[in-house]
Structure 1
């Protein structure tokens, strides 16, 4: 266990399999991941205090999104194919037929389009200005949260009160999202049970707001959509960019992955059943994430009350502690050479691919 200074205060890093196991099994009443995320992203200022305390995004992700996964896979595949045609197929080529592009910027746009197909529907997911706004908001959250964490708590409140940095993004997003919300509510009121509700997160948010008697609060619905955009775009775009690099670098894996995809999709199409059977691709993605993590530390936790480890070390309330990503990834690797890139080429029946939840 190591205590290190950062620009934002002290942080405790844990190392070793015993402490990692203890971290995994500690109850949420003692160690809070949600409080840590709220602090790291400064969600009280970059999003909204109600988002922090309400937890509606967690309930929707765990219930509606999880149940809707099989149907959403088809929509996401459809949008990804369309986005690839728009952003990749239209690129200029050289004399040998090769095209050059910046992976992260392009992947961010593709992920934003696919995510918003699920979040807000077909109309806005194809709107280039709204997609650009979504990606700009993601970068602004990261920038603003970093700046705010360097300030004392009281100064953060003053800075946000005098100059609310995220309000322009909420105002711009409202121009796109609020008309959609009002149109859907008008149709719900006019058609009643005959209205066929759109199959997206915005509709679930509207229904939840109606159930809680908060139908007039359109701003919070806009903020939730922006927040889900941040969650969907940030880590996914980095992971996919890294994955592209790994596939390009490891040519010996390309034929294996291509053949598996052809066989599985030829029989099952592009759906949840097919994803469950793409074992080699699943293994490749996990290895890419293990050896090329998106951050040097991961899974931050806030100590909600004084906590004593089995080795006698006590962390006081309010401590932020985490673990080095490479330490965790090599501990979970069974290979004798945890630094090597190795994928499974054997089909493992009964082990479906677990789609990440927002």
Structure 2
């Protein structure tokens, strides 16, 4: 039996090597940053630990122009702001975002094949959900404040140490699901734990699956992914809800339109009629939205909390921003829109310590030439150099410094409020991506993070455990991902 497994392993490695050699047989015309010796594998492995430094080096060495680096699965062409419109406007038959995601996260195995091939629910997130954010704000605010109280359980004036990401992922999961499925399910400990646990496995599982050749991915995916267990867990809750709502719709007729729930589940159910979806398919789509909402927002906001703990002098400034807006409009979406300093603090955090060093990854579906003359062969990846752009001194004065009011000062100086808003995607702020594949849920994620920060500065005091003011724990880099120090604890106490 041992010999058989040795043979199988050898076969897999040989097939993978042949596939890799074929993918490296044609390069882009962009200059190579480092050596492509031995099919580029030494450099590809180096990228796991030196991704950010290599982006910095390439951005400076080639004067912000395109350059290429060998990756594990093929050549990666990194481009600067001058080619933002090339990537943003590209159609999926030339530069494909869905195909790039498949090669990165393997969504058809880590979430669901039908969801990966036809994510029609994204239009529901982009339209119905975004349009409802004003009306649903009181519920989101209620869930965020309740979740903080339930998780922190503070009384008196004592400081309580917590692991920030553990706290934030609980808050985000509850707040998101208040909009997705409503009460009481958004507070169900089993349901929310499924969402939290699943969110932590998708990226890692996708990476492992994509190390194998295409014909082995279905087999490997069956063993590695947590999707089947998560789907079954979600189905126990959602399938009965979906069937019950469909039953009520049939029985109530026109009255259902007035009385039906207002949440993402219902909006997806309404849209599903055009797609002949089953309750299980709708459940898979809610699972996918949960992953997108929970993983990215919780990591991003943990960075925000770390900056607040490192800069306690900012708390009073942000608190004044909140108090002034709430005094005029109450706790409403309108008030949130006037909290420019809250908005700026978060946006600056995402600029300085975004959760990734790249953005807008696309896979070339055919040979093509970019507007600067760069040739890109079929199969190569084209990726925006987010780190280089977000830390470019010609765009951002003193780009390595965390300047919490960088964007609010621009607005005070007369610049566009929309142009400097957290939720706005642009060629100089790439966190949300861009073009037809810009993050569908960015308005909700922005509202959620702004509300969480506004609640924190209004109700709590925050500082690091064991660190002096102004000191922020060092982030951990894994390939292109920037992860806050999960071992560092943050202290919370009620405001006096």
TM-score normalized by the length of structure 2: 0.66
**TM-superposed deviation, 1:48:** 1.8
Q: Which residue of 2 aligns with 1:84?
A: 148
Consecutive unaligned residues in structure 1, runs of 5 or more: none
Q: Judge conservation of contact 2:199–2:290 (CA < 8 Å) in 1.
A: yes
Contact 1:112 1:135 in 2 (8 A): yes
How is 1:31-46 mapped onto 2 (pairs within 5 angstroms)?
A: 31-46=95-110
Matches within 5 A, 1:87-126: 87-88=151-152, 90=153, 97-126=158-187
5+ residue gaps, structure 2, are: 1-65, 424-438, 442-496
Report the Cα offset of residue 238 of structure 1.
Answer: 1.0
Measure, in 2, the Cα distance between the counterparts of 1:53 and 1:20. Answer: 25
CA contact (8 A) 2:343 2:422 kept: no
The residue that corresponds to 1:205 in the other structure is 268
Report the RMSD for the aligned CA atoms in angstroms. 2.3
Which residue number corresponds to residue 351 of structure 1?
Answer: 417
Distance 1:163 1:34, change over 3 A: closer
Cα distance in 1, alignment partners of residues 90 and 276 from structure 2: 36
Q: CA deviation at 1:276?
A: 1.4
Query: How far apart are the structure 2 equivalents of 1:349 and 1:183?
Result: 50
Q: Contact between 1:57 and 1:224, CA under 8 Å: does it hold in 2? A: yes
C-alpha contact (below 8 Å) 2:165/2:299 kept by paired residues:
yes
Q: Say if 2:238 and 2:283, in contact at 8 Å, map to a contact too.
A: yes
Q: Deviations 1:20-71 (Å, cap 9, x if unpaired)? A: 4543444454222233223322111112221122221221122111211211
Alpha-carbon distance in structure 1 between the residues aligned to 2:106 and 2:92: 20
When Rg is computed on C-alpha atoms for both structures, the one with the higher figure is 2
For the 8 Å contact 1:113–1:126, the answer to whether it is kept is: yes
| Matches for 1:237-316 after TM superposition, within 5 Å | 237-316=298-377
Of the candidates 124, 127, 144, which is equivalent to residue 60 of structure 1? Answer: 124
Q: TM-score, normalised by structure 1?
A: 0.90
Output the CA distance in 1 between the equivalents of 2:72 and 2:177: 34
Distance 1:181 1:27, change over 3 A: closer
Query: How far apart in 2 are the matches of 1:309 and 1:154?
Result: 32
Partner residue of 1:23 out of 87, 91, 97: 87
Equivalent residue number for residue 78 of structure 2: 13
Cα distance in 1 for partners of 2:209, 2:393 equals 35
- 320-329 vs 5-14, which deviates more? 5-14
Question: 1:211: how far off?
Answer: 4.0
Q: Secondary structure at the residue paired with 1:4?
A: strand
**How far apart in 1 are the matches of 2:229 and 2:396?**
50
1:57-206 matched pairs, under 5 angstroms: 57-88=121-152, 90=153, 97-160=158-221, 165-195=226-256, 196-206=259-269
2:416 and 2:390 map into 1 onto residues whose CA distance is 24
Q: Secondary structure at the match of 2:345?
A: helix
**Cα separation, partners in 2 of 1:310 and 1:56, compared to 1, 3 Å:** closer
Residues 82-120 of structure 1 show CA distances to partners (whole Å, capped at 9, x for unaligned) of 1011112x1588xx7111000111101110000111111
Change (3 A) 1:102 1:125: same
Aligned-pair CA distance for 1:327: 0.8
Tell me if structure 2 keeps the 8 A contact 1:293–1:325: no
- Cα separation, 2, equivalents of 1:163 and 1:101: 31
1:324/1:173 CA distance change after superposition, 3 Å: same
The residue number in structure 1 matching 2:461 is none
In structure 2, how many angstroms separate the alpha carbons of the residues matched to 1:57 and 1:14? 30
- 1:265-288 Cα offsets, whole Å, 9 max, x none, are 121122221121111111111111
Change (3 A) 1:292 1:209: same
Matched length? 352
Residues in 2 aligned to 1:29 and 1:275: alpha-carbon distance in whole angstroms:
39
Shift of 1:163: 7.1
CA distance in 2, matches of 1:5, 1:314: 16
